[in-house]
Structure 1
Amino acid sequence: MAAFSQRLVFIAVTAYLVLGLGAGLVYRELTKHADVAQGQPLQLGVMHTHLLTLGFIVMLIVLALDRLFALGRHKLFPVFFWVYNAGLLLTVAMMAVQGSTVLAGGEESPAVAGMAGMGHIIMTIGLLVFVVVLGSAVWRHVPAAAAEHETAPEPVER
């Protein structure tokens, strides 16, 4: 499962990089052609940073930790992966809907904002599962170099 999980996470890393860069490009081009005032806050503006930071960078860190601790062997790793990514994709999708609506001249929708909030909650649940997975891997993993240098404490003479 560890090799499969690393491939899956690498695919997610690549997808989030492409989506994040693409979202930045789309935002720039849409706002340039729509005559949006510079500095006007739009959800489309932060969509690419969410994809790059919470998608690309977080999954890149997960990939490195999976390589180090074989996190993919843990039974809860797939739960983390799918729950976290579902939450992030829901959040980003709602940002796209809200930003496109506002860009087209519509009003911000509290329902869409609520769904984006649900995406954040789902991501938080995924991160909590990740901490459980990482914690169990850290507690069971003793690097070989550290094990060689560990010695029993010498008795104190009185």
Structure 2
Amino acid sequence: MKQLFKTAAFYAVLGLLLGVFYREFTKFNAFTGTTAIGFLHVHTLVLGMFLFLLLIVVEKNFQITQAKAFKPFMYIYNSGLLLTIFMMIVRGIPQVLSLTLNRGADAAISGVAGIGHILLAVGLFLLFKALYQRIIE
């Protein structure tokens, strides 16, 4: 349960810092449009902090951390979330700075972000598998 709390706290701090980064970076660059970094705050808080806070309640009732699939979930899901967050930053900074990316760079950013999303999906599958394992036991 302590690991879940620490993970939730990490994403809470990261989400708040990313919200400040978005506000200050766009203000400093006089940017008023829509950018990927504008969604970092909410994504990090919901997919990170809130999910792991919810898992604390699930752990209390089902001891989900005892399931075989839970440890792989933690590694894969967190890797996917951090990669997705990083790629949102990589996508958003050029948007704010009005930089035009060549097709190769644009495709590379989209491809790596896609890998992050795939890791998130696999992680969620493992979470459901772990929960199911604990429910049937």
1:124 aligned residue (121, 124, 127): 121
Report how many aligned residue pairs link the two structures: 133
**Structure 1 residue aligned with 2:72:** 79
1:78-134 deviations in Å (ceiling 9; x for gaps) = 101110010000000000111112222212522112211110110100100111110
**Structure 2 residue aligned with 1:47:** 40
- Listed as ranges, the matches of 1:126-141 within 5 Å are 126-140=123-137
List gaps (5 residues or longer) in structure 1: 1-5, 141-158
2: CA distance between counterparts of 1:16 and 1:125? 20
2: CA distance between counterparts of 1:130 and 1:75? 10
**Which structure shows the bigger proportion of residues in helix conformation?**
2
**Counterpart residue identity of residue 113, structure 1:** S
How far apart are 1:74 and its partner, in Å?
1.3
The structure with higher relative contact order (CA 8 Å, sep 6+) is 2
- Listed as ranges, the matches of 1:1-158 within 5 Å are 6-37=1-32, 40-108=33-101, 109-140=106-137
**Counterpart residue identity of residue 23, structure 1:** L
1: CA distance between counterparts of 2:25 and 2:133? 46
TM-score normalized by the length of structure 1: 0.80
Would the aligned equivalents of 2:59 and 2:65 in 1 still touch at CA under 8 Å?
yes
List gaps (5 residues or longer) in structure 2: none
**Counterpart residue identity of residue 66, structure 1:** E
1: CA distance between counterparts of 2:82 and 2:100? 22
TM-score normalized by the length of structure 2: 0.92
1: CA distance between counterparts of 2:100 and 2:8? 33
| Cα-Cα RMSD | 1.1
Would the aligned equivalents of 2:67 and 2:131 in 1 still touch at CA under 8 Å?
no
Same amino acid, percent of matched pairs: 33
How far apart are 1:12 and its partner, in Å?
0.7
Greater C-alpha radius of gyration: 1
2: CA distance between counterparts of 1:33 and 1:14? 28
